[in-house]
Structure 1
Amino acid sequence: MFSYRHAFHAGNHADVLKHAIFVHILRHLNLKPAPYWVMDTHAGAGVYDLTSDWAVKNGEFADGLDRLLDGEPVPSLIEDYLDEVQRCNADGIANIYPGSPWLALHALRERDRLRLFEQHPSEADVLRRNLRSQGRKAQRQVAVYEADGFEGIKAILPPPTRRGVVLIDPSYEDKTDYRRTLLTVREALKRFATGCYAVWYPLVQRREPQELGRSLERLGCGDWLHATLTVCKPAADGHGLHGSGMFVINPPWTLHAQLQQTLPWLRDKLALDERAAWTLTGSQDTAAPAGPAHTKRNARLP
């Protein structure tokens, strides 16, 4: 139950997709003066050291974040994402990676609030310690709950502001997470129908990811976007992550066009073999899929 640590995967291709979209949502929320809440069901440690033993063990950032740091022009969605990475790395070297709590924390204005759920006791302790380092403002704006985010999110919806985003990104190491994610979204929409929901899921050799995506599309939740990014063919042994998906309910109206521009670029940039691909579908049926494309550790930020 408590074996997963996101530090092993920080900055990988799935983080790039998830966090680039998340940054866009946060910046869109900031366009209006009305306050909002950010709610994260599986917060993790908040921020990660890419030079740590855990991060270096797998070195997944080498085929994710690092591939974006070669100084070449990037789509605006990725430029905004890299700006947030830069914010955590004053020396210009991308050794510190901001997870979703850190991206949200840095986006908050005076009246905005952040609510973080993390059930893993050790991760929750690290998260609290990391937040203490951010000073009194962070302590005032952020609440950490050492609890099951699937259950806990229900108690705080709708937020008092009636504006906000819910990020749902469990590890899915437990196969029941797929069903729990769907049920959580369905229940949350009853409480907060106008909220933005960003659901991340892995592309692995199981039937559950495909079923989750189809089930989310059939929820009848109004406006939605569904993006996937595949970087390689599935491993012969059936293990490993060959891509990931993001399903966004009530997305910013600007997100579709940004993803149309960004997903082909990410496919080419992050491809590990000829099976790299992307898809983009939406409730308005204005999106179209694209096929495969072919494509070193350079840790200096552009």
Structure 2
Amino acid sequence: MKPVGGIDDEWAELDVDLDRPNAARVYDYYLGGAYNFAVDREFAQQAEQLLPDVKYVATLNRRFLRRVVRELSALGVHQYLDLGSGIPTVGNVHEIAQETDPEARVVYVDNEAVAVMHSKRILADNPNADIVAGDFRKPAAVLEDPVTTRLLNFDEPIALIMCTILHFISDEDDPRAILGRYRDALCPGSYMAISHGTTDNRPDLQAFGDSYRKTANPVTLRSKTAIEPFFDGFELIEPGLVFTPQWRPDETETDTEPEKSGVYAGVGRKP
């Protein structure tokens, strides 16, 4: 079985689980991408019955990512570590950062085979961006990977990007401990950007989140109070932890009910 876009025979060589939908490929579908399989599309369409505006929620999160990279680039950040980066789509971190700084360096991290292979394809001619095929829940392996050590200098500020990925870590897996390992590796002046699903003001998201138990990536939605401690060791920059459309909106942001985004977003700076 091939993705909807029709890819060559390399897909047959990948270790892709077609029995269960995968969150990275489902998200790709929400964003209008072609790197998803029938099992992913079927799940996504069922999930859309529970949350009819899920594609818009995903789009708002993507816009947040783009604004973050532009803002941090303007602040002089030249290095990015994007954890759980997923399947690349237009306007990914390296494209935005390298628009203004062609020498900006980007390391993506994902363990989904389609995401890794497609990333390697589009980054093949980009000497300043690459992907680590690994599990971001294992910080030591990510930080010591040859791709990471080749591209990133941890003596200089780095932007750690964690967009809609932490809600795929259960409380039992101790996300704060995982974050602490990455935080400790960053030098002062580094940043961390997080977006995270929530049921605050969107109780209907609970049924949607529960549906992910059928996938390879179960979801734990959290309140603002539960998300705030993820920024321990960082100082939140303005406007703090807010809904995605509220984080430094540009002129195109016209949302009158930002709480309907169902996703909190914030950026912290390591002092």
Q: TM-score, with normalisation over the residues of structure 1?
A: 0.51
CA distance in 1, matches of 2:77, 2:265: 30
How many residues matched? 196
Q: Which has the higher contact order (CA 8 A, sep 6+)?
A: 1
Contact map agreement 1:40 1:116 (CA 8 A) in 2 = yes
**What is the CA-CA distance between 1:160 and the residue it aligns to?**
4.2
CA distance in 1, matches of 2:262, 2:135: 34
**What is the CA-CA distance between 1:46 and the residue it aligns to?**
0.7
Residue in 2 that maps onto 1:290: none
Residue in 2 that maps onto 1:17: 60
Tell whether 2:241 aligns with 1:226: yes
Percent identical residues: 9
Tell whether 2:135 aligns with 1:148: yes
Q: Which amino acid counterpart does residue 197 of structure 1 have in structure 2?
A: M
What does 1:6-85 align with in structure 2 at a 5 Å threshold? 6-10=27-31, 12-31=55-74, 36-47=78-89
**What is the CA-CA distance between 1:145 and the residue it aligns to?**
0.9
**What is the CA-CA distance between 1:213 and the residue it aligns to?**
1.3
Q: Which of 181, 192, 197 lines up with 1:202 in the alignment?
A: 197
CA distance in 1, matches of 2:71, 2:93: 16
CA distance in 2, matches of 1:187, 1:38: 16
**Deviations along 1:163-214, whole A, 9 cap, x unmatched?**
2211113556745279554333222222214211111211242774115414
Contact map agreement 2:169 2:175 (CA 8 A) in 1 = no
CA distance in 2, matches of 1:216, 1:260: 26
Contact map agreement 2:109 2:131 (CA 8 A) in 1 = yes
Change (3 A) 1:26 1:187: same
Q: Which amino acid counterpart does residue 241 of structure 2 have in structure 1?
A: H
Contact map agreement 2:83 2:136 (CA 8 A) in 1 = yes
Q: TM-score, with normalisation over the residues of structure 2?
A: 0.56
Q: Which amino acid counterpart does residue 195 of structure 1 have in structure 2?
A: S
Please give the root-mean-square deviation of Cα atoms over the aligned residues, in Å.
4.0
Q: Where does the alignment leave 5 or more consecutive residues of structure 2 unmatched?
A: 1-19, 33-54, 199-204, 210-219
Tell whether 2:142 aligns with 1:163: no
What does 1:130-279 align with in structure 2 at a 5 Å threshold? 130-132=122-124, 136=125, 138=126, 140-150=127-137, 151=139, 152-155=141-144, 156=148, 159-160=153-154, 162-169=156-163, 171=165, 174-176=168-170, 179-192=173-186, 193-203=188-198, 204-205=205-206, 208-210=221-223, 212-216=226-230, 219-224=232-237, 225-228=240-243, 258-259=248-249, 265-268=254-257
CA distance in 1, matches of 2:169, 2:263: 24
